[in-house]
């Protein structure tokens, strides 16, 4: 059995609360189309997440030939 110092459980709970709040903000930012990549990267980092993005070019050319 591990005995924690008095107040340690309260501190641990507040750390989880804080992480939860940051994860919620990150999730909300992912849904917002105006959120920049820099903002997403910073929010992810605050949650301990290494955000890695990859871009893929899409061609607007039509493949249909008349």
With a cut of 70, list the residues of the chain below it in pLDDT. 1-12, 61-66
Three-class secondary structure of residue 48 per DSSP? coil
Cα separation of 31 and 23, whole Å? 13
User: Is residue 50, in this structure, part of any structural domain at all?
Assistant: yes
pLDDT score at 2: 60
User: Is residue 32, in this structure, part of any structural domain at all?
Assistant: yes
Three-class secondary structure of residue 17 per DSSP? helix
Domain region containing 49: 13-56
Number of domains in the chain: 1
Record the tokens describing residue 37, joined without a space: 């990549």
User: Is residue 3, in this structure, part of any structural domain at all?
Assistant: no
Cα separation of 18 and 3, whole Å? 24
User: Is residue 26, in this structure, part of any structural domain at all?
Assistant: yes
pLDDT score at 5: 65
* The model scores a pTM over 0.75: no
């Amino acid at each position: 059995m591990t005995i924690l110092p008095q107040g340690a459980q309260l501190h641990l709970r507040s750390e989880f609360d804080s992480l939860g709040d940051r994860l919620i903000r990150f999730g909300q930012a992912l849904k917002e189309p105006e959120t920049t990549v820099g903002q997403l990267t910073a929010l992810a980092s605050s949650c301990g997440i290494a955000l890695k993005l990859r871009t893929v070019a899409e061609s607007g050319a039509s493949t249909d030939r008349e």
